[in-house]
């Protein structure tokens, strides 16, 4: 072997390479002489190295092997190829003029190795699989996450089909690890900046590489050495950049080092700061790596498309369920009787088109009681019956009229797109008068309760005869609700009660609606949640009738309100527990004690020192039905291209995502390792016990731990979660504005880069608006569920400026029927059958825009993990520019149901990792 002038480290790497190729040699003595045109190219730069001339370095490197390889356009389908340590030269057309500059070319080796597509003709490719050969350093890496050529698969662009932003002059701080994982380490830059932006392919070139490609030196031409000549024809030797430069952690001769690498069309360049001049920049061992990939590795299948998921198809159970519901909706009248554990709890009557009557069992001051409800169109009447005594009739008017059975939740026709529960059909049974068939489904609710729901249907008459719901709570309690259906199309005599009194919000009024409905019907929270979904019309009435949770007051100049002082002195108002007099212009919560809410608000608003006084509205989590088709059913990960995104990042412990919700299950094995901090905004302290289960679910969608063989996985499963419990202690899943405001301030002040709120309501509150603005003005990405009303009525905080309002799509990628829509929607994400961890260490699959929002929050967290220096607007712009637009729309065009499109986390992460920083659309909702 001839002596060469090179670094010791390079020689050591070369020795390691020789161990892999015992049949090849670096000495030309054992190979046939190179053809003259190839020798001429080689000698121009590398002859000086072989002759030990000072300052010389390898451009092609020692010869590795000669090969005859398939190539469609060559004579006989074969061409001669010459491999060197750092590149390749090939002669495709021997009949060409040997003096032509392109008689011998260097080929697109990087493109083949990165994409995994071996080129055997101008347009002929063989799928081999991306090269898992180290990008730099030792061919047997001493660091587990040292990247390979395959690691660049999702980060390259060969034709400018996507383009990075021009970052000339800015520091190079991105790092690349095995599998394509990208993060940022500002300390590595140490003065290394981007020097030039190539418009041809849309990539930046680092200054050390730019200087290297443009340097001058001594070359061998026409039989002599000529000084001060350009060493390279950059386009011939290197080609255009096809990726951004990345710092990689590798071993060189067994020693760990940070090396900057950049891929060009024809060459790979490395920059090692610890090397002495002039050897800091070197050409990577591309030829050696290519030979290892093409001749020494097993062929692996290469897939250049994202993984997909199985769309649902119609089953017999699905068809029967919808057919029976369609028949039930055609009825003009119906009676139902419900029992829990054998005890009647509700008797119901319905009369088309707009009448209903309920007798619901409850308690009043410890005694058995009944709440009677009559609904006629837009007016709801209620009274309390205790023994032989009855209260007056009270009434409330609702914004929209009650309709039956068209809008009755129990008889909804479900599309495949919205198929939440996978109903199964049992065996038909023939009786003396009918043919019946059972339908059944099993699922888990977010609080960990197990449900078995069954229907017995009449195949002859096409109606439901009875239904059964069996519930087993996490604590082991068992409940059974049975519902019997009767009197189909038999008219019910339902009339409006005379002399009804308009319901008051005054808590002192005898037998008020709040007092009458103070106890749940079943006495069990998890069972009530099922009833909530089934009887949402009645829940809306109860919600409207509930008394205020106090008032939020913002003073113009600190605490200087004469009216507020007077109201406190006479006991009408009192500072709520945990609140103090404001000193920074923030609102403060007052209890209204026994005062009339409207009169109190009028007094406060009349005071010139009061900027606003508003009710402390209650908002609800944006969740609908619940089911559990089994573990491994996280189809939405493929739907939003999460596996492709994980090639770039699975999150960073340096990024915190706050989840303002019902708390979180601290003992859940899929969650506890990622919970960085907890806070209870309702009562202070760190208790975040999740009675509802909603927060454990949304938190799991964002950050459930992956690769731990437990349940499923979160999307950003290496990201820190700040879990904030903000729901009411006596109303799990309900959130007062005061509690949400405190949570927003806490999350912002404690370093959250992203805040997720899967909650909302129809009331616009300036106090809540101010709190959202506090977060967004400090650069926090605020993501909010659009709501589950299925209409265009704005919900808040989803409709506030600068938030990312997220609507839901279903199993077919179409807008979910329940998803609220309108001009404020920014993005959409899957929201039907979203399986993840829930309370009590369970795995469940609820529906709702509550799931869509954390999918986007997780995407934002991943983007910031790749580039923590991005602003909230840049994160938002990347999410919008990478989204899959609504049908018929282009990128950047908005739709009232899809927003700017369904989030595509794979594309979003690639954009962040390759310095693509789009601008926000001009029509962005404000």
Question: Who contacts 926 (Cβ-Cβ below 8 Å, separation ≥6)?
Answer: 801, 802
- Of residues 550 and 490, more confidence is placed in 490
Query: Which of 299-313, 556-570, 760-774 ranks highest by mean pLDDT?
Result: 760-774
In this predicted structure, the answer to whether residue 812 has a pLDDT above a threshold of 90 is yes
DSSP label at residue 815: B
CA distance 765 to 483: 40
Show the 3-state SS of 568-635: HHCCCCEECCCCCCCCCCCCEEEECCCCCHHHHHHHHHCCCCEEEEEECCEEEECCCCCCCCCCCCCH
SS3 at position 325: helix
In this predicted structure, the answer to whether residue 90 has a pLDDT above a threshold of 90 is yes
Q: Tell me which of 415-424, 597-606, 854-863 is least confident.
A: 597-606
Helix (H) / strand (E) containing 329: helix 316-329
| Average pLDDT of the segment spanning 820-841 | 94
Predicted confidence at residue 525, as pLDDT, reads 31
Predicted confidence at residue 758, as pLDDT, reads 97
Predicted confidence at residue 226, as pLDDT, reads 93
Question: Who contacts 22 (Cβ-Cβ below 8 Å, separation ≥6)?
Answer: none
| Average pLDDT of the segment spanning 791-817 | 96
CA distance 274 to 256: 11
pLDDT single digits (tens) 449-478? 999 999 999 999 999 999 999 999 888 889
CA distance 716 to 548: 38
What DSSP line would sit under 81-133, residue for residue? Answer: EEEETTEEEEES-TTS-TTSTTSSB---HHHHHHHTEEESSSS-EEE-----S
Whether a cis peptide bond, with omega within 30° of 0, leads into 353 is yes
pLDDT single digits (tens) 472-491? 988 888 999 999 999 999 99
Which of the four pLDDT bands, split at 50, 70 and 90, describes residue 559?
low
The predicted model scores a pTM of 0.83
Predicted confidence at residue 619, as pLDDT, reads 82
Longest dimension (CA), the chain: 119
Which of the four pLDDT bands, split at 50, 70 and 90, describes residue 767?
very high
| Average pLDDT of the segment spanning 158-170 | 90
In this predicted structure, the answer to whether residue 544 has a pLDDT above a threshold of 80 is no
In this predicted structure, the answer to whether residue 443 has a pLDDT above a threshold of 60 is yes
| Average pLDDT of the segment spanning 548-554 | 80
Question: Which residues are marked as active site?
Answer: 661, 694, 850
Which of the four pLDDT bands, split at 50, 70 and 90, describes residue 560?
low
Question: Who contacts 695 (Cβ-Cβ below 8 Å, separation ≥6)?
Answer: 659, 661, 662, 663, 664, 688, 723, 725
Which of the four pLDDT bands, split at 50, 70 and 90, describes residue 517?
very low
In this predicted structure, the answer to whether residue 629 has a pLDDT above a threshold of 50 is no
Predicted confidence at residue 763, as pLDDT, reads 92
Predicted confidence at residue 324, as pLDDT, reads 95
Scan for tokens 């899943």, then name that residue.
733
| Average pLDDT of the segment spanning 651-664 | 96
Which of the four pLDDT bands, split at 50, 70 and 90, describes residue 155?
very high
Predicted confidence at residue 535, as pLDDT, reads 30
Which of the four pLDDT bands, split at 50, 70 and 90, describes residue 162?
confident
CA distance 564 to 585: 16
Percent of the chain with pLDDT over 90: 60
Chain-centre distance of CA 822, in angstroms? Answer: 21
| Average pLDDT of the segment spanning 750-756 | 98
In this predicted structure, the answer to whether residue 631 has a pLDDT above a threshold of 70 is no
Q: Tell me which of 126-130, 163-167, 296-300, 855-859 is least confident.
A: 296-300
The Cα-based distances of 367 to 247, 385, 605 in angstroms read 73, 11, 41
Chain-centre distance of CA 522, in angstroms? Answer: 36
Tell me the pLDDT of the chain averaged across its residues.
86
Which tokens belong to 407? 């809008």
Question: Who contacts 366 (Cβ-Cβ below 8 Å, separation ≥6)?
Answer: none
The Cα-based distances of 272 to 109, 136, 138, 283, 606 in angstroms read 23, 10, 14, 11, 71
Predicted confidence at residue 555, as pLDDT, reads 85
Predicted confidence at residue 504, as pLDDT, reads 58
In this predicted structure, the answer to whether residue 547 has a pLDDT above a threshold of 80 is no
Predicted confidence at residue 777, as pLDDT, reads 97
Predicted confidence at residue 834, as pLDDT, reads 94
SS3 at position 471: strand
Q: Within 10 Å of residue 484's Cβ, how many Cβ atoms?
A: 14
- Of residues 669 and 586, more confidence is placed in 669
What is the DSSP pairing of strand 379-386 with strand 394-397? Answer: antiparallel
Burial 672-696 (b: 16+ CB within 10 A, else e): eebbbbbbbbbeeeeebbbbbbbbb
CA distance 846 to 186: 41
Residue of 363, 401, 381 lying closest to 372 (CA atoms): 381
Paired with 860 in beta bridges are: none
CA distance 103 to 734: 75
What is the DSSP pairing of strand 125-127 with strand 117-119? Answer: antiparallel
Which of the four pLDDT bands, split at 50, 70 and 90, describes residue 621?
confident
pLDDT single digits (tens) 888-922? 999 999 999 999 999 999 999 999 999 999 999 99
pLDDT single digits (tens) 68-85? 999 999 999 999 999 999
Residue of 459, 402, 453 lying closest to 428 (CA atoms): 459
Question: Who contacts 428 (Cβ-Cβ below 8 Å, separation ≥6)?
Answer: 435, 436, 437, 459
């Amino acid at each position: 072997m001839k002596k060469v002038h090179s670094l010791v480290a390079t020689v050591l790497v070369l020795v390691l390479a020789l161990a892999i190729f015992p049949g090849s040699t670096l000495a030309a003595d054992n190979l046939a002489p190179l053809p003259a045109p190839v020798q001429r190219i080689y000698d121009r730069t590398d002859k000086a190295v072989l002759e030990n001339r000072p300052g010389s370095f390898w451009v092609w490197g020692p010869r590795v092997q000669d090969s005859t390889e398939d190539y469609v356009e060559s004579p006989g389908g074969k061409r001669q190829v010459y491999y060197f340590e750092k590149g390749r030269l090939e002669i495709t057309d021997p009949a060409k003029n040997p003096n032509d500059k392109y008689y011998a070319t260097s080929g697109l080796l990087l493109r083949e190795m990165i994409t995994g597509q071996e080129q055997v003709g101008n347009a002929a490719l063989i799928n081999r699989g991306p090269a898992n050969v180290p990008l730099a350093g030792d061919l047997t890496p001493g660091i587990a996450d040292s990247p390979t050529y395959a690691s660049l698969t999702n980060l390259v662009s060969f034709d400018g089909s996507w383009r990075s932003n021009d970052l000339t002059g800015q520091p190079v701080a991105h790092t690349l690890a095995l599998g394509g994982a990208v993060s940022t380490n500002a300390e590595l830059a140490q003065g290394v900046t981007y020097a030039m932006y190539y418009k041809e392919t849309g990539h930046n070139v680092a200054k050390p590489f730019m200087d290297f490609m443009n340097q001058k030196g001594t070359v061998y031409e026409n039989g002599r050495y000529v000084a001060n000549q350009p060493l390279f024809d950059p386009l011939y030797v290197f080609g255009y950049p096809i990726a951004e430069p990345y710092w990689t952690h590798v071993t060189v001769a067994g020693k760990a080092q940070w090396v900057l690498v950049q891929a060009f069309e024809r060459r790979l360049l490395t920059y090692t700061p610890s090397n002495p001049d002039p050897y800091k920049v070197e050409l990577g061992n591309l030829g050696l790596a290519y030979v290892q990939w093409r001749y020494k590795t097993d062929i692996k299948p290469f897939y250049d498309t994202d993984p997909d998921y199985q769309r649902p198809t119609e089953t017999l159970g699905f068809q029967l369920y919808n057919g029976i519901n369609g028949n039930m909706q055609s009825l003009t009248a119906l009676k139902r009787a419900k029992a829990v554990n054998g005890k009647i709890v509700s008797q119901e009557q319905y009369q088309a088109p707009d009448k209903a009557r309920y007798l619901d069992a409850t308690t009043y001051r410890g005694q058995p009681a009944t709440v009677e409800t009559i609904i006629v169109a837009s007016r709801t009447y209620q009274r309390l019956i205790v023994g032989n005594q009855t209260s007056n009739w009270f009434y409330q008017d609702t914004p929209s009229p009650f309709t039956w059975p068209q809008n009755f939740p129990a008889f909804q026709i479900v599309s495949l797109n919205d198929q939440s529960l996978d109903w199964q059909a049992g065996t038909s049974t023939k009786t003396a008068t009918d043919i019946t068939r059972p339908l059944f489904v099993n699922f888990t609710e977010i609080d960990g309760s197990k449900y078995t729901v069954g229907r017995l249907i009449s195949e002859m008459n096409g109606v439901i005869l009875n239904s059964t719901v069996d519930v087993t709570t996490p604590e082991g309690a068992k409940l059974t609700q049975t519902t019997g259906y009767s009197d189909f199309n038999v008219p019910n005599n339902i009339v409006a009660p005379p002399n009804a009194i308009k319901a008051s919000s005054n808590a002192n009024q005898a037998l008020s609606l709040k007092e009458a409905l103070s106890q749940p019907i079943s006495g069990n929270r998890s069972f009530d949640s099922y009833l909530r979904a089934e009887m949402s019309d009645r829940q809306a009435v109860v919600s409207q009738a509930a008394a205020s949770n106090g008032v939020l007051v913002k003073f113009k100049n600190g605490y200087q309100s004469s009216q507020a002082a007077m109201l406190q002195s006479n006991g009408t108002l009192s500072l709520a527990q945990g609140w103090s007099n404001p000193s920074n212009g923030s609102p403060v919560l007052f209890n209204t004690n026994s005062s009339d809410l409207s009169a109190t608000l009028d007094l406060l608003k009349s005071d010139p020192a009061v900027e606003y006084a508003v009710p402390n509205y209650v908002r609800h989590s944006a969740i609908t039905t619940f089911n559990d088709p089994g573990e491994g059913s996280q189809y939405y990960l493929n739907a939003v291209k999460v596996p492709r995104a994980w090639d770039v990042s699975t999150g960073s412990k340096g990024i915190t995502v706050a989840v303002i919700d019902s708390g979180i299950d601290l003992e859940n094995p899929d969650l506890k390792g990622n919970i960085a901090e907890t806070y209870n905004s309702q009562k202070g302290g760190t208790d975040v016990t999740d009675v509802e289960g909603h927060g454990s679910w949304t938190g799991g969608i964002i950050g459930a731990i992956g690769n731990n063989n437990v349940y499923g996985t979160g999307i950003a499963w290496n990201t820190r979660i700040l879990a904030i419990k903000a729901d009411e202690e006596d109303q799990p899943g309900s959130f007062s504005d005061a509690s949400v405001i405190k949570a927003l301030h806490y999350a912002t002040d404690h370093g959250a880069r992203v805040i997720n709120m899967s909650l909302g309501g129809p009331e616009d509150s300036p106090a809540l608006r101010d709190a959202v603005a506090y977060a967004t003005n400090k650069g926090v990405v605020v993501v909010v569920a659009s709501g589950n009303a299925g209409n265009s009525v704005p919900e808040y905080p989803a409709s506030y400026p600068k938030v990312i309002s997220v609507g839901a799509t279903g199993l077919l990628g179409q807008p979910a029927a329940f998803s609220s829509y309108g001009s404020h929607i920014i993005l959409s994400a899957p929201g039907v059958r979203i399986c993840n961890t829930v309370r009590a260490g369970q795995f469940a699959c609820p529906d709702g825009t509550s799931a869509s929002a954390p999918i986007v929050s997780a995407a934002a967290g991943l983007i910031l993990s790749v580039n923590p220096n991005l602003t909230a607007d840049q994160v938002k712009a990347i999410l919008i520019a990478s989204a899959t637009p609504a049908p018929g729309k282009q990128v950047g065009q908005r739709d009232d149901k899809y927003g700017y499109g369904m989030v595509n986390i794979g594309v979003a992460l690639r954009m962040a990792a390759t310095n693509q920083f789009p601008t926000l659309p001009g029509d962005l909702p404000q």
